[in-house]
Amino acid sequence: MKKPIAVALSLRRCIVSVIAAVTLVACGGSSDEAPGSGAVAGSSALRPGSGAPTLAWAPSTNGGYDLPTIGAGQSESQAFSLLNWGASPTGSLTITLSTSAVFKLVADGCSGTKLAAGKSCSVTVTYTPSSAGESDSATLTASGKNASAALSLTGASTAPAAGAITEFSIPTPNSRPAGITAGPDGALWFTESGGNKIGRITTTGDFTEFPVPTTTWWAGTSSPNGITAGPDGKLWFTEYYGNKIGQITTAGDITEFSIASSNDPNQITAGPDGNLWFTEFYDVGRITTAGSITEFSFSEAGLLGGIAAGPDGNLWFTSFDNIGRIAPAGDITGGWSTYSPTFDGYAVGITAGPDGNLWFTENGGNKIGRITPTGSDTDIQNSITEFPVPTASSAPLGIAAGPDRTIWFTENGGNKIGRITLPP
């Protein structure tokens, strides 16, 4: 009668072992379960399958993992286990994370390891989106002798609220950013009046800078000021101290054209006639893409600031506290002196937005303004709306429409690039 008792005890141990599921070892036989079919993820004593080493990441859903959506500047950390489900060990492992500015491999317990059958190791990845409304991806890869595994990672940041302003610090100290425009390459291009450079910023905040050839002995800079995208696929900019109009390709090659008069070229825009138009102290200038310059007397408008092509076919400009408009032929139209934002706000930069409005900077008022160019003079005046810039005394200057219903602007006193998000 002792044998039946021994068998019963043995069976009881098997049942307990299966229920506990600590090592996934059954009584006799074998198991070829793969991770995700009931195996305990992360266990260091997983039951090996058969054949060559077989690697798998966990957690994983169909070979990928979606990190939670978080706010810009926040960070999400996620640990991943690498499992060897095969019947033989791997060679020395190498862990890589595809190049990404927002995904980082911060802990690696797998590289250099020879992972035995049924064993696991772990790594940790962080995701830190730099701006709102991002969608990012990366690939986490493990490779060793006769085995590899890849995991697709995706992350997203919450979309910014309408009217929210985001700021990016420029690498060059005291660069005094002035004009800004959307480039044909999908980036924003801007001038650095103090740094004597043309800058480029991507929509995720990555900067590149290109020195301007001309300088001046009294200021150490040609003071590049306004900038616009031309109809020829190049960027055109003014040199306030250098008294030139500059042209730069998206590769960074610069050509300069001298102005005969000494009227301090200020802001510049692409006109509806295929030429570039720029403001001077009291005049308006025009330059063809071949470099031919013509100037028009416009002293009755006062000191001119920004200039932009409006949705109504006219050129709109700023003059101290006024917003005005000029026809491409050089005639004044409309009551430009009646369109006035905050007193002493000192409107400077102006651009056409994707919403059918014109947007402008208030250098003295530390605000971004919006004006609707339709209706009566009273309607246009009453349409003016203003948005305060978060950084105090930032002195917003240049302004441009960017992709995805955004308006970008320079902060001449804050040494930053700002972005304002428009409602859908």
* Token pair for 227: 């900038």
* End-to-end alpha carbon distance in the chain: 83
**What parts of the chain have a pLDDT lower than 70?**
1-50, 160-162, 298-303, 327-340, 342, 424
**Token pair for 117:** 């059958």
Q: What is the helix (H) or strand (E) element at residue 7, kind and residue range?
A: helix 2-20
Model pLDDT, residue 9? 35
Q: Which helix (H) or strand (E) holds 14?
A: helix 2-20
Predicted pLDDT at 44: 38
347-352: strand order across its sheet: 347-352, 358-362, 367-371, 385-388
235 contacts 229 by C-beta, under 8 angstroms: yes
Superfamily of the domain at 20-156:
Immunoglobulins (2.60.40.10)
Model pLDDT, residue 29: 31
Distance in angstroms (rounded) separating the CA atoms of residues 114 and 93: 6
Domain ranges of the chain: 20-156, 165-421
C-alpha–C-alpha distance, residues 181 and 127, integer Å: 30
Tell me the two tokens of residue 306: 């920004």
For the stretch 216-242, pLDDT in tens is 888 889 999 999 999 999 999 999 999
Q: How far apart are CA 103 and CA 185, in angstroms?
A: 24
User: Is there a contact between 371 and 379 (Cβ–Cβ < 8 Å)?
Assistant: no
d(CA 315, CA 310): 6
Q: Which of 373, 213, 369, 363 is nearest to 303 (CA)?
A: 363
Fold match flag (20-156 vs 165-421)? no
Is residue 296 within 8 Å of residue 284, measured between CB atoms?
Answer: yes
Element (H or E) spanning 22, and its range? none
Q: Is omega for the bond preceding 341 within 30 degrees of 0, making it cis?
A: no
Domain 165-421 superfamily per CATH: YVTN repeat-like/Quinoprotein amine dehydrogenase (2.130.10.10)
Q: What is the pLDDT of residue 27?
A: 32
Q: State the DSSP code for 99.
A: -
Task: Find, among 10, 367, 410, 402, the residue nearest to 180 by Cα.
Answer: 410
Alpha-carbon distance of 308 to 236, in angstroms, equals 13
The confidence score (pLDDT) of residue 212 equals 97
For residue 140, which phi and psi values (nearest 5 degrees)?
-95, 120
Name the 3-class secondary structure at 133.
coil
Q: What is the pLDDT of residue 334?
A: 41
Residues 126 and 109: their CA atoms lie apart, in Å, by 15
